[in-house]
Structure 1
């Protein structure tokens, strides 16, 4: 809808601003013109009073002045001006008042006083006309005391100002309309790159997430949003790729136990077996079911962790006790492999006890599974500025550098052929990473001739 269009709103705002600016300029010019016209009329009256005073003083006689009334009418030049010269007894010497308007009583300026603009009186006649009047004393040729009244009807000024106001209203209206039309045209041209950007975004779907929005030729104001959109597309592409890979890995992981179950059950049904053999088949099936159950539980945990649905139960934990409990739990498995467990963790840490035990337990299970027989697996603590690092170190095969960055991916195994029935289905290290993300920490790994070292980093400034 047009009412929701940015271009229409901005064009309307631009038109309103132009109308306000034009109105302000028009008011200023109108007031300037009115002031200038008032100044011109007032100065004309002041000059007329002085001229009449000089004319009266230089004349031969008042009778000679009375004999030439048309001369004074021509001198005034129009029917909107009036001139009265009166004797002390009130009789008229000169009486030019075309519409015979009644005039108010005026205080005449002394003859020796120079008239000023403040002496001009504005008066409204009975017919509604507005007049500017000025009165002053004068002296006749024979020393007579006279009173001069000069006046001007202001209708011409009002007509001129009225015509100017009308032109001003039309100019402001037409200017606003023109500003709106030009603003709308310019805005539509200016928003063309945005429409092109919208077309480019519309053309990207799930099968073309590898495409990116063009940056070249994009206006400066839109480059930051374009970069943000491209970064979002990159994240979406990476997430979709990982989801696709996850789906493929999940299908592969589930297919193996399902194939095993189908094969064993098929053989058991095709050939008569003894009770002991059936029990052996069921026991084998239970191992596969346990594997599927662990996989489902791990996937459920990862899903909840990624959605931040699991609330942390933070508490101050004794790392010595946590390490001792884990070593006691894994000691039978370590003895079977000829391994020795040592706990050197100390101090306290603010963390979720169950999640910390699960993360360290997954690292210990991984270390016990891959450590060389007769070697030592140690739990240690290392403090750094603002961080507390919990370390699990074991001696075993060196992990190639190209695998280190993928160890925490789901279902990733350095050597798939070494998968064992009791493993986590390739989800153990992914769970460790999710636990550390919930704690706002990080996990890293290093593998060289000195052994393989996993580190869990917890921030100590909370």
Structure 2
């Protein structure tokens, strides 16, 4: 069996709810009407009973029957039967009265020959034990016909209201689900060439607008990831093209004629440098690929950041001395992290700072141990970075220095991207500030203790 659509299910649900509510209300109204008629009939019969007792206070009087007939003639739908204490019938006001009537005192309802009666049994003289019995019969056929017509009207109302609600529910459900069909149409058309499609959120109901917002956010993330992947692939080809071309050209030139052994050795050394740079580039790209898939799992060990920074400053001291750059550190703190990964991140920042710090400049590393976490700042003096370039510093293969040419075997523009991946793997974040003659890379890490 084919499964019902959501619109059909909602329409049937609306119809069922309306039918149940209508039926419940109709039954309550029918019961209330019936109880109201019973109450009216009881009041009428009890009022007639009082008059009859007054008229029949003396059965031996000569005008008893006249007075009785006069009393009964006033109510065309009322009949009377008088029986003795032994059950013997004394008087019937009509010849068409049922032969068998209830004997119990009180109000009851019977049906005889297609006619409905409300019957009231009561003693003529309540104070006497052997009093004759009065049986008043009220023809309530018109009441019953009214109740039957009302019940048929209730069933008709239930059916029509259910049908009308089903149609209106189907229309409302179809109208309400129009945004979902729009989402389905957009999702059907999504491809690698149309990831920029978005759903309009302003005209959607709040429940669907939230889903549309998340759907648009998902498309945005997919578009961003696809664009980054495409750019990454293009950058890889762009970066590898020059060294491969250099290798091919150098090798072909070397093999054009016989050369001394020293020339071949020099050519091999030159090719080795290019190959080492390409191998490092491939390793860096694999490292970033692992970071993108959440595969970087830093080891957790207690580290003294001051000691780790001092080790790196000692390593970079000769290069700084040659460049006439002053290195320094302030502050200390302890952290839970991976020693190798953190050293690599700080090395990238120091190497980057040394390359862009002018002679007689300064590089300072400041460690702030705060309540909410650790803050590590690598600052270098020199020409600042323009504001429009700051958001792109951590993009792969991006070089802020326009003087750097493509295919450089020294720096591929992956250092800051790798640093950002390492910081994020430790649950932190990194940013860059530039101004007042200083450029600061700020790392914020959780305490981890």
Question: Could you tell me the TM-score, scaled by structure 1's length?
Answer: 0.81
Distance 1:395 1:405 in 2: 20
Could you say what secondary structure the match of 1:405 adopts?
helix
Alignment of 1:102 onto 2:100: yes
2:186–2:199 CA contact under 8 A, matched in 1: yes
Distance 1:354 1:410 in 2: 21
Which one of 114, 119, 129 corresponds to residue 132 of structure 1? 119
Q: CA deviation at 1:397?
A: 4.4
2:335–2:448 CA contact under 8 A, matched in 1: no
Rate the CA distance shift 1:102–1:449 in 2: closer, same or farther, 3 A: closer
Equivalent position of 1:290 in the other structure: 276
Equivalent position of 2:415 in the other structure: 428
Distance 1:262 1:416 in 2: 27
Rate the CA distance shift 1:438–1:4 in 2: closer, same or farther, 3 A: farther
Equivalent position of 1:250 in the other structure: 236
Q: CA deviation at 1:209?
A: 3.5
Could you say what secondary structure the match of 1:311 adopts?
coil
Distance 1:261 1:212 in 2: 47
Equivalent position of 1:85 in the other structure: 82
Structure 1: runs of 5+ lacking an equivalent: 108-119, 140-144
Between 179-188 and 401-410, the greater mean CA deviation after superposition: 401-410
Could you say what secondary structure the match of 1:206 adopts?
coil
Distance 1:412 1:352 in 2: 26
Distance 2:201 2:67 in 1: 93
2:381–2:439 CA contact under 8 A, matched in 1: yes
Distance 1:448 1:104 in 2: 108
Rate the CA distance shift 1:268–1:91 in 2: closer, same or farther, 3 A: closer
Alignment of 1:17 onto 2:17: yes
Could you say what secondary structure the match of 2:56 adopts?
helix
Between 329-338 and 6-15, the greater mean CA deviation after superposition: 329-338
Distance 1:401 1:171 in 2: 72
Could you say what secondary structure the match of 1:122 adopts?
strand
Between 59-68 and 379-388, the greater mean CA deviation after superposition: 59-68
Between 188-197 and 358-367, the greater mean CA deviation after superposition: 188-197
2:56–2:64 CA contact under 8 A, matched in 1: no
Q: CA deviation at 1:223?
A: 3.9
2:18–2:161 CA contact under 8 A, matched in 1: yes
Distance 2:136 2:436 in 1: 118
Rate the CA distance shift 1:66–1:253 in 2: closer, same or farther, 3 A: same
Distance 2:189 2:206 in 1: 23
Equivalent position of 2:351 in the other structure: 365
Could you say what secondary structure the match of 2:297 adopts?
coil
Distance 1:408 1:344 in 2: 25
Equivalent position of 1:114 in the other structure: none
Rate the CA distance shift 1:391–1:38 in 2: closer, same or farther, 3 A: same
1:295–1:424 CA contact under 8 A, matched in 2: no
Q: CA deviation at 1:22?
A: 0.6
Distance 1:454 1:91 in 2: 118
Rate the CA distance shift 1:396–1:57 in 2: closer, same or farther, 3 A: closer
Equivalent position of 2:428 in the other structure: 441
Once the two structures are superposed, residues 42-90 of structure 1 have per-residue CA deviations (whole angstroms, 9 ceiling, x without a partner) of 2232233233334435999557728997x88866646xx6422246787
Distance 1:161 1:299 in 2: 86
Equivalent position of 1:355 in the other structure: 341
Could you say what secondary structure the match of 1:94 adopts?
strand
Q: What does 1:384-399 correspond to in 2, within 5 Å?
A: 386-399=372-385
Distance 1:320 1:88 in 2: 118
Could you say what secondary structure the match of 1:391 adopts?
strand
Q: CA deviation at 1:91?
A: 6.0
Could you say what secondary structure the match of 2:124 adopts?
strand
Distance 1:100 1:194 in 2: 70
2:377–2:441 CA contact under 8 A, matched in 1: yes
Q: CA deviation at 1:300?
A: 1.2
1:210–1:233 CA contact under 8 A, matched in 2: yes
1:390–1:457 CA contact under 8 A, matched in 2: yes
Distance 1:222 1:269 in 2: 69
Once the two structures are superposed, residues 216-272 of structure 1 have per-residue CA deviations (whole angstroms, 9 ceiling, x without a partner) of 544455444444444444443333333332222221101111111111111122222
Distance 1:45 1:451 in 2: 108
Which one of 362, 366, 381 corresponds to residue 380 of structure 1? 366
Distance 1:215 1:394 in 2: 46
State the number of aligned residues. 443
Between 13-22 and 388-397, the greater mean CA deviation after superposition: 388-397
Distance 2:26 2:317 in 1: 94
Structure 2: runs of 5+ lacking an equivalent: none
Between 225-234 and 4-13, the greater mean CA deviation after superposition: 225-234
Distance 1:356 1:411 in 2: 21
Rate the CA distance shift 1:52–1:453 in 2: closer, same or farther, 3 A: closer
Q: CA deviation at 1:337?
A: 4.0
Question: Could you tell me the TM-score, scaled by structure 2's length?
Answer: 0.83
